[in-house]
Amino acid sequence: MVEGVTKGITYKELAHLLHFLVAENSRLEMQLGTIQLSDSLFLPHRCLSLLPNDLVNVCRKILGVQPEAPYIYDELESPSNCEYSESGELTGATFFKIVEKITEDGSNELSNSLLYTFPLYASPEKLLDTLITRYSVPIPSLMAANERQLFISRKIRQIQSKVTGFLKKWITLWPEHFEQNTEVRDCLQYFLLGSVNDQDPLIRTNCKAILAALFKVDEPDYNYTFSEARVPEIAHLPKEIDFRTEPLLLWHTLEIARQLTLIEYDYLKKVRISELLARRWERDGKEENAPNVVQISKRFVNGRSLLIYALVNQPDFTNRVKVLKKLLEVSEECLKIHNYESPFTIFSALKSDACRALIRTTREMKKSDLHKSLWKKLKVTYSDDFAEVRKEMLNNHVVVPCFLPLRNELARNDNHRKDVTPSGLLNISKHKITAEIIQKITYYQNNPPPFHRVAVLYDYLAAALFDMDDKELLTIAKSLES
């Protein structure tokens, strides 16, 4: 009989339990005298609530309660799954511990770290499976009715709300994971349809919200922001178009700055988060794995060449000086509207060998105190370490960022920090930095410039097919000013 009752229980565990019960009984007899307890106090859930945690499972086996399947999120925190810095900051953790913490503590920083970087260490299928497991929190056996209600309201509902919020953000930021006929979409949809008719109204609401976000993936991209709701300012158009005149001299300085801003933004908004991970823009297969980041680099080269050509293509000395001054004025207007990419392109063009060869033109430009100061400002803003432009972008409402410093920060973080800690845990410190930079970029993508597109000027400045190299441009410049 003893063997039947204690099946699955070691004798050491049973001895520990009996010793505890004898000691507890003696303690109560001394305190209360002869014990007169009602039968209601011996209900299983009441008995279990009086035991230490390490004896609860032993008693559940004795009482014939079915053993519960191990729940991965019941694992206690230890050095094997979490690491902290001396200041108490979480620096490393297992994948499951990160999911557990973002659905309990509600740390936005840790949640963003997972949201923006998880493809580096987990597939979309694994993340979804982990979130569904986290959503389906089991209720411990033999809980009293009041304990059960508290556990549901204070524990389960909070976790489910966090999981729901994370899923909606995931669908918004990574729509490619949820396109039709993908395994992740089918799995999530199956889970939601099984829960959408749940008796709990909160669960029904959460599931409907996720389903709505899921169906939006198939809709055309009609996301509007406040800046788009504003009426753009009237474009500055020339009184008449003279195709023999260099467009930089024909069009208003502010309008050139606006069209450059629209061009740079159009390139930026196409970049996907996946392109910004693991330096994909500089590795084999970059054209397939980071096509839009590669296009930004090509746009910089082509735009720079176009501006150089606009300068060296002026055989008339006076016009060359005018174009040079115009480029400096355009850079200033771009900075005023917080477009930090185009001034960098202009600055790079003016530092080219071809422009340096135009010594007379540069000397004439510097006779103007205004343009001399604009040139000095560009040199300070776009110093080699990009410290000043990073400061400017940090302190202002950025319309278009200077992309190279952001890309360099991602590369530097990836080069100098390992993906995992020495003990094999995910390096949260590294992934937080990556997530912070990518979050900035996604924020800029969702704030389009409030300007009209002027097709004729936009198309000229875009110059997607302009591919004249520096040697050719230098040859032209030398022929103008030997």
Average pLDDT for 154-162: 88
293 within 8 A of 334, measured Cβ to Cβ: no
**For residue 387, pLDDT beyond 60:** yes
pLDDT at 350: 96
Band (5; pLDDT cuts 50, 70, 90):
very low
Closest of 440, 444, 393 to residue 225, by C-alpha: 444
pLDDT at 60: 63
158 within 8 A of 201, measured Cβ to Cβ: no
Band (248; pLDDT cuts 50, 70, 90):
very high
Say if strands 82-84 and 90-93 run parallel, antiparallel, or are unpaired: antiparallel
198-202, 315-319, 404-408: segment of lowest average pLDDT: 198-202
Start-to-end CA distance of the chain, whole Å, equals 109
pLDDT at 44: 52
**For residue 235, pLDDT beyond 90:** no
Average pLDDT for 100-116: 89
pLDDT at 4: 43
CATH class of the region 234-400+449-480: mainly alpha
% residues pLDDT > 70 (the chain): 80
According to CATH, where is 1.20.870.10 located in the chain? Answer: 84-216
**For residue 276, pLDDT beyond 70:** yes
Instruction: Order the strands of the 82-84 sheet from edge to edge.
Output: 82-84, 90-93, 426-427
CATH class of the region 84-216: mainly alpha
Over residues 19-56, the pLDDT tens digits come to: 666 676 666 565 555 545 444 444 455 555 566 766 66
Closest of 394, 270, 399, 298 to residue 343, by C-alpha: 399
According to CATH, where is 1.10.840.10 located in the chain? Answer: 234-400+449-480
3-17, 90-104, 333-347: segment of lowest average pLDDT: 3-17
Structure tokens at 403: 């992309």
pLDDT at 30: 59
**For residue 348, pLDDT beyond 90:** yes
pLDDT at 246: 87
444 within 8 A of 401, measured Cβ to Cβ: yes
CA distance linking residue 284 with residue 292, whole number of Å: 15
CA distance linking residue 407 with residue 434, whole number of Å: 10
